[in-house]
Amino acid sequence: MQATGNKRRKYDYAGILLLLVVLAGVANAAAPVPQSASQLLAHADNIKTADNAAFAKLLQELQGRTAELSEEEKWQLRYMQAYQSAYSGKEELARTQLEALAKEAPDSTLRTKVTGTLINVLGIEHHYDEAFQYLDQALDNLTQVTDKEARFHLLAEASQLLSDAGQHELAASYANQIIVDYPNGRNGCIGRMLELHDKLLGGQTNIAKDQFQEGIDSCLAVGEKMIAGAVRRDMAVLDMQQNKMDDALDLLQKHYEEVKGFNYPALDADYSILLAQIYWKKDNGFLAQKYATATVDIAAKSDFTESLVKSYQLLYEIERQQGNLRDALAYHEKYVAANKEHLDDVREKALAYQIAKQQVETKKIELDALNRRNQILQLQQALDHKAMVMSRLYIALLLTVLASIGFWLYRLKRSQLRFMRLARRDGLTGIFNRQHFVEEAEQALRYVAKSLRGACLILIDLDHFKTINDTYGHIAGDNALKRAVLICQQHLRSSDVFGRIGGEEFGILLPECTLIQALERAERIRLAIQAMPDSETEHVPLTASFGIASTTHYGYELRRLLIAADDALYRAKRDGRNRVVVSMNGHAPDTGNNQARRDKLTNAAPYADSAE
């Protein structure tokens, strides 16, 4: 891999590429449905995107006719079932099915296709480190892949994943290889869509509109209307960048209803937010608000954070211009939370790419060092009396080179460890970030569950933290967070798991701890925070509210403990703040706003602002 820079503002529409790039074959929904199980299997493979509903029905029918399939066809059926799980939004099930296939499938071509689909699903689930690991392994073996369809899978996933990580020039090069392999047909259509998309995101301004039209025509020729819709979307973005708003508006409006009929939320959200932005630039606040609201309805149900950020920002500007300051403030708060989540995701992708790049370089250097060691051994064995002096000099030179390689290898290892620490720690406080807190907490719970020992989870939320930020500025707020963390650390054991799970919200898992001990520990921390001196916020005393849940009442599943502790924390806030509340089994959980907090908590939304 190689890195490329891009300082231009980018439109990231990765959602439309998910799952499309991992398909093979030419869609043919109009063909007559065959009768034999083998023919049904082949027909199902051809209609994945053209008629997914019919494809799902065929899979159900084939499930009852597996006895009629050959062993090779049974493996192919398992792959198609895993694909449908991913297409239906069941990514965790799809990942389990694909990982099993990648290990067990006897056919190397099928394993290559499975790896491509698995990379795609890992990207959807935000497991970027694992996705890049699979991609690097696959690209190392790319020259050995003789099946063109399997090669297409890998090239398409490489283009997709690298584009998500901001490496658009490199992503476009892999898309171009697809076009070389497939000048025409469905795969060529996808290759053109990927290449144009990567060039646009990479900031190229000299893309001719004829290229977009050629891409649209090539996709329509093979019946891929949805992929043609993605090319039209990028064509409209280019028009907007060139200030051709009328052209962009005409193109989007002409195909808007068609896109809605695809039932593909990512592309629907893209069209809606682009229309909202165009109408806002054309001073039509009513239609801008209509399409921005439509974008929120679509994007909020899925993981389309960039569309959500743009829609909240636009709705804030609309409400502010109309003088609705309360609604404008509400949209601005949603924009800040969504933008924080989006930027965290972008950072994760870029960091995962850099870590993968470091690992690849390290492997190359280690291999080079091993080859040089072998050269030294071979040379030592081949020494004779006449060449002794010159050979010793050559050995000394090789040893010097080997020492240099070892030094650079050591530096690369240190750099790699630094990247890994950055991926696990919160940048402000230095404690575990949310993702690593969840991983460590789940591991600790598994350990205490095996020994039937108890554990408690404490959730901490600083009271009136927004007031500190608004009154004294974010620097004062950051200092308050750091001091609160230092106080908590003074009351923790080495076995306790401590992390930041929200803007001003922290979590502590106490293994081998009774509920009474957890209550006492929380009360000591609460009193220490209340007594904490702070010259910058002396007029607004800093306090914190605490919610506690115990495995005695809720078991060893982290998600249940989080929900119970968050419910207790919410009651502490509601009852006046600056207090500790224990969640006991049998207490009816709150509804309304607390349910929304619980959904946000268990869905692992990074650093979304919690209630004051």
pLDDT digits (tens, 9 = 90+) for 472-509: 888 888 988 999 999 999 999 999 999 999 889 999 99
Q: Which residue(s) pair with 425 in the sheet?
A: 432
Annotate 449-478 with DSSP letters as a single string: HHTT--EEEEEEEETTHHHHHHHH-HHHHH
Q: Helix (H, G, I), strand (E, B), or coil: what is residue 18?
A: coil
Q: Find residue 509's DSSP bridge partners.
A: 457, 497
Cα atoms found within 13 Å of the Cα of residue 452, Cβ hemisphere only:
0
User: 497-500 and 544-550: which strand pairing?
Assistant: unpaired
Highest mean pLDDT among 78-92, 250-264, 382-396, 444-458: 444-458
User: Is the pLDDT confidence value at 9 over 70?
Assistant: no
Element (H, E) at 124: helix 108-124
Out of 51-65, 494-508, 564-578, 579-593, pick the least confident.
Answer: 579-593
Task: Taking residues 146-167, report their average pLDDT.
Answer: 83
Helix axes 209-221, 185-201, angle to 10 degrees: 150
The arrangement of secondary structure in 434-602, i.e. its CATH architecture, is: 2-Layer Sandwich (3.30)
pLDDT bucket at 424, cuts 50 / 70 / 90: confident
Residues with Cβ within 8 Å of residue 438, at least 6 apart in sequence: 499, 558, 604
Query: Residue written as tokens 């996705």?
Result: 131
pLDDT of residue 12: 43
- Of 223, 290, 222, residue with least CA distance to 253: 290
Q: How many CA atoms lie within 13 A of 331 on its CB side?
A: 22
pLDDT value, residue 247: 93
Dihedral (CA of 35, 40, 42, 43) sign: positive
Closest CA to 508 of 489, 527, 523, 524: 489
Look up residue 423 and give its two tokens: 């991926």
Could you read off the pLDDT of 516-550 as tens digits, one per residue? 999 999 999 999 999 987 655 555 678 999 999 99
Are 547 and 459 within 8 A, CB to CB? yes
Residue 144: pLDDT band (50, 70, 90) is: confident
Mean pLDDT of all residues in 412-422: 58
Say if CB 15 and CB 270 are below 8 A apart: yes
- pLDDT given at position 602: 47
CB-CB neighbours of 593 under 10 Å: 11
- Contacts from 246-254 at CB under 8 Å and sequence distance 24+? 248/274, 248/278, 249/275, 249/278, 249/279, 249/282, 252/278
- Alpha-carbon gap, residue 114 to 108, rounded angstroms: 10
Strand order in the sheet with 580-582: 497-500, 505-511, 455-462, 544-550, 580-582
Q: Pick the residue with more confidence: 74 or 205? A: 74
Q: What are the phi and psi torsion angles at 389 (to 5°)?
A: -65, -50
Residue (of 500, 456, 478) closest to 610 by Cα position:
500
DSSP, collapsed to helix, strand or coil, labels residue 146 as coil
Angle between helices 388-424 and 325-381 (to 10 degrees): 160
Residue 15, pLDDT above cutoff 70: no
| Mean pLDDT within 64-82 | 88
List 441's β-bridge partners, or say none.
none
Q: Which candidate, 59, 30, 32, 63, places its Cα nearest to that of 44? A: 59
Q: Looking at the predicted structure, is the pLDDT value of residue 10 above 70?
A: no
Task: Please compute the mean of the pLDDT values over residues 593-609 and round it to a whole number.
Answer: 43
For range 67-77, the mean pLDDT: 88
Helical (H) or strand (E) element with 500 = strand 497-500
More confident residue, 387 or 267: 267
Give CA–CA dist 81/71, Å, rounded. 16
What confidence category does residue 336 fall into, taking pLDDT thresholds of 50, 70 and 90?
A: confident
Residue type, 133: Q
Domain ranges of the chain: 17-147, 166-242, 343-424, 434-602
Residue length, the chain? 612
Dihedral through CA 244, CA 245, CA 251, CA 256, nearest 10?
160
The contacts found for 514-517 with CB under 8 angstroms, 24 or more apart, are: 514/454, 514/456, 514/550, 515/454, 515/456, 515/548, 515/550, 515/552, 515/582, 517/456
Q: Residue 13: is its pLDDT beyond 80?
A: no
Distance in angstroms (rounded) separating the CA atoms of residues 415 and 525 = 36
pLDDT in tens, 226-268: 999 999 999 999 999 889 999 999 999 999 999 988 888 889 9
How many angstroms separate the most distant Cα atoms in the chain?
94
CA proximity to 313, closest of 297, 333, 294: 333
Contact 362, 413 (CB under 8 A): yes
Max mean pLDDT among 32-46, 56-70, 116-130, 479-493 falls in: 479-493
**Percentage of residues of the chain with pLDDT beyond 70:** 83
pLDDT computed for residue 557 by the predictor: 95
Confidence tier at 590 by pLDDT (50, 70, 90): very low
pLDDT of residue 362: 75
Give the residue from 568, 437, 557, 574 showing the smallest Cα distance to 508. Answer: 437
The 10 Å Cβ neighbour count of residue 572 is 25
Flag whether pLDDT at 374 surpasses 70.
yes
For residues 455 and 447, what is the distance between their CA atoms, to the nearest angstrom?
Answer: 10
SS3 content of the chain, % helix, strand, coil (to 5): 70, 5, 25
Burial of 425 (0-12, 13-18, 19+ CB in 10 A): middle
Give backbone dihedrals phi and psi of 19, rounded to 5 degrees, phi first. 75, -35
Predicted local confidence at residue 421, as pLDDT: 52
How many CA atoms does the CB half-sphere of 5 hold within 13 Å?
1
Average pLDDT over the chain, rounded to an integer: 82
Pull the structure tokens for residue 59.
Answer: 């899979």
Q: What are phi and psi of 376, to 5 degrees?
A: -65, -45
Please give the average per-residue pLDDT across 54-74, as a whole number: 87
Q: What predicted TM-score, i.e. pTM, was given to this entire model?
A: 0.55
How far lies 127's CA from each of 118, 124, 352, in Å?
A: 11, 8, 9
